[in-house]
Amino acid sequence: MRTYLRFVAWMNQCRVPLFAGLLVIALALAAAASQKVRFTPKFSPGETLYYQIESRATTTGKTTTPVVNPEGGTRSSQKISLLVRLDVLDVRAPSGLAPALARLRATYEKSHAESESDAFDSEAASLDDQYRRIEGQSIEFTLDPSLQITAIKGVEDIFPDRSAAAPVLAWLNGLFETGFPAEGVAIGQKWKSERPIAAPLSGLAWITQSAYLRNEPCNSSVRAAAATNSSPGPPSMCATILTHFEISRRGSPHSDATPQDYLRNGLRTSGTWTGSGESLDSISLANGLLVSSTQSSTQEMDYQITSASTGSSIHRQGRVQSQSVITLVPVPQAAAQP
């Protein structure tokens, strides 16, 4: 009995320190979760990174025009594969809360596109050829404090027609995450952002709802990539960001949907354009760089473009499903050799 009483007394003495210790741990975890992080890329002059970009888009639907085309296709798909080397040419010191400006060069180490269609598509064949021609080519650009891509140079050497370069440059927007609150975000926090869409219908925008889910160790392939790239240090911990997005149109559904550019050219547009999707991003807590991103989306469109003077029209009905994966990868062996 005495032994039991001594044990009970000992337990009572330990209980307060034990609970106090658990409280300290809980408070520490809560404090860590409430700390705000600003995901601003940290670059060093001379740093080199390699990214693998894979994307696939499948389009189904039909276009009705005044001239009937019995050979018009109803389904097409395109797969794109890029290996891009990113060299940091220059970094300006940050001022205040603004991140540093960086001048970067992107070199298409490998570039390949493959298209399929149930009808002959000269534009798809031309785009495949464009991707073949950019292999080994480079462009330079500046990343401004708001993480926008500006001052792009070298595109005109590859594509005299700037509009043809848009699909080749689309991956750049996925490398640098925008729309974060300026004061930073904490684990568990949610936020919204909006990005307008250039389309035949006015007022369209991607409305995004993002959430900072957790911090977790970066996957092994990412750690290997960081070890071989000339970055400041391996991103051992990564933030996981989940984003849902959908297309929304401002104003009344019965209001005129014609954009100003179409009005000036004597055209009228009407119809609907909807869409939704999701992305899961992993961002290094060490340097703010994107280390992986997986995204999928679906868009549904049913719109009509009509000439105000002649009354002739083009009616487009379609569905576009797309998937993309961006991954920080190790330096290729050929590039790693002196």
**pLDDT of 17:** 47
Phi, psi of 156 (to 5 degrees): -65, -25
pLDDT of 160 over the 80 cut: no
In angstroms, rounded to a whole number, what is the distance separating the alpha carbons of residues 108 and 27?
48
pLDDT of 40 over the 90 cut: no
pLDDT of 242 over the 90 cut: yes
Beta-bridge partner residues of 116:
77
DSSP element (H, E) containing 94: none
> What is the band of 167 on the pLDDT scale with cuts at 50, 70, 90?
low
**Do 85 and 48 touch, CB atoms closer than 8 A?**
yes
Kindly state the average pLDDT of the residues 154-179.
74
> Higher confidence at residue 219 or residue 76?
76
**pLDDT of 215:** 94
**pLDDT of 299:** 96
Phi, psi of 71 (to 5 degrees): -100, 10
Which tokens is 313 given? 């029209």
In angstroms, rounded to a whole number, what is the distance separating the alpha carbons of residues 290 and 282?
6
**pLDDT of 225:** 53
Q: What is the pLDDT of residues 86-124, one digit of tens each?
A: 999 999 876 555 566 899 999 999 999 888 887 666 565
In angstroms, rounded to a whole number, what is the distance separating the alpha carbons of residues 121 and 141?
32
pLDDT of 274 over the 80 cut: yes
pLDDT of 28 over the 60 cut: no
**pLDDT of 244:** 97
**pLDDT of 115:** 87
In angstroms, rounded to a whole number, what is the distance separating the alpha carbons of residues 257 and 204?
9
One-letter amino acid at 10 equals: W
pLDDT of 164 over the 80 cut: no
> Higher confidence at residue 163 or residue 65?
65
In angstroms, rounded to a whole number, what is the distance separating the alpha carbons of residues 229 and 154?
24
- Worst-scoring range by mean pLDDT, 23-37, 42-56, 116-130? 23-37
In angstroms, rounded to a whole number, what is the distance separating the alpha carbons of residues 229 and 335?
11
**pLDDT of 246:** 96
In order of 63, 295, 303, 306, the CA distances from 67 in angstroms are 11, 37, 18, 14
> What is the band of 162 on the pLDDT scale with cuts at 50, 70, 90?
low
- DSSP letters, 219-239, are PHHHHHHHHHTT-SS---EEE
Burial of 219: CB neighbours in 10 Å, binned 0-12, 13-18, 19+: middle
Q: Where are the domains of the chain?
A: 39-68+75-336
Torsional class of 188: left (φ above 0), alpha (ψ -120 to 50), beta (otherwise): left
Confidence (pTM): 0.79
**Of the spans 21-35, 60-74, 300-314, which averages the highest pLDDT?**
300-314
- Does domain 39-68+75-336 fall under CATH 2.30.230? My reply is yes
pLDDT of 218 over the 90 cut: no
| Mean confidence (pLDDT) of the chain | 80
> What is the band of 282 on the pLDDT scale with cuts at 50, 70, 90?
very high
pLDDT of 11 over the 60 cut: no
Query: How many alpha carbons fall within 13 Å on the CB side of residue 70?
Result: 0
- Worst-scoring range by mean pLDDT, 77-86, 119-128, 149-158, 169-178? 119-128
